[in-house]
């Protein structure tokens, strides 16, 4: 496994009297699949927002690809964000655009970096082929199932060739069979593109299949860390609570 691509140290964030993060730590290594599990309201989404500079922590440091997020001006922060892919919970496709236009949209600002002068078609088709949806290129989002929307959103993430992908509840709202397909797709993408993945989930099945390492977020800290097997055998009630069906 390669060097660190993300390092979070002693992250604190409160909203009034609500202490959400209380000294949270995390490292993601190059090429790794790291799962962070936490109950609703445990601070998972706040942690992700701190990670990409959307929320400023009260204290602590966040480094991505060796750069301290909170020290960057807007332009270098935007450049760094182009190395980070996001798969949001609700897929977040633009309803008024075709699948093709949804994939072309993030490329507009990054054509130079991607070496694209005029024709975006090859990159769009390659990304859609990676998620098994080349035939859907001219469909509208309303014509897609929930699983297909998630696949298109993943293709849109891949099109910028990110070094790190952040998955926010990638299987939420999907039926078990579609969830399994999305998880397998995430694994194949990691193998094909060599991405480093941080997966935020409360889906135990997703964590079991995808994780190489897990962090359990409890009371605003990384309460426990280890492989799925190690953590699922733990006798600590706070850890056991994650694995009870």
Predicted confidence band of residue 114 (pLDDT cuts 50, 70, 90): low
Question: What number of other Cβ atoms are within 10 A of residue 97's Cβ?
Answer: 14
pLDDT at position 185 is 86
Q: Is the pLDDT of residue 233 over 70?
A: yes
Instruction: State residue 115's pLDDT score.
Output: 61
Please provide the average confidence, as pLDDT, over all residues in the chain. 86
Q: Say which residues have a Cβ less than 8 Å from residue 132's Cβ, sequence separation at least 6.
A: 151, 185
Give the count of alpha carbons within 13 A of 84, CB side only: 25
Phi, psi of 209 (to 5 degrees): -80, -40
Element (H, E) at 146: helix 146-158
Q: Is 24 a residue whose pLDDT tops 90? A: yes
Helix residue spans in 28-138 (DSSP H):
44-51, 74-81, 99-104, 111-114, 121-130
């Amino acid at each position: 496994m390669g060097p660190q691509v993300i390092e979070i140290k002693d992250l604190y964030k409160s909203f009034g009297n609500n202490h959400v993060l209380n000294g949270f730590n995390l490292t993601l290594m190059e090429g790794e699949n790291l799962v962070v599990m936490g109950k609703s309201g445990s601070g998972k989404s706040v942690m992700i927002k701190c990670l990409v500079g959307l929320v400023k922590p009260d204290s602590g440091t966040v480094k991505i690809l060796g750069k301290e997020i909170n020290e960057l001006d807007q332009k270098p922060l935007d450049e760094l964000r182009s190395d980070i892919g996001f798969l949001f919970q609700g897929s977040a496709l633009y309803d008024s655009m075709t699948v093709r236009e949804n994939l072309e949209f993030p490329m507009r600002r990054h054509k130079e970096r991607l070496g694209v002068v005029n024709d975006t078609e090859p990159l769009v088709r390659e990304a859609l082929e990676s998620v098994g949806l080349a035939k859907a290129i001219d469909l509208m989002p309303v014509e897609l199932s929930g699983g297909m929307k998630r696949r298109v959103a993943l293709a849109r993430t891949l099109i910028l060739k990110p070094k790190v992908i952040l998955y926010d509840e990638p299987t939420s709202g999907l039926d078990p069979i579609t969830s399994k397909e999305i998880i397998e797709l995430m694994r194949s993408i990691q193998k094909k593109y060599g991405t480093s993945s941080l997966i935020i989930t409360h889906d135990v099945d997703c964590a079991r299949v995808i994780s190489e390492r897990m962090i359990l977020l409890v009371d605003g800290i990384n309460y426990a860390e280890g492989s799925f097997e190690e953590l699922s055998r733990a006798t600590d009630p706070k850890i056991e609570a994650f694995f009870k069906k």
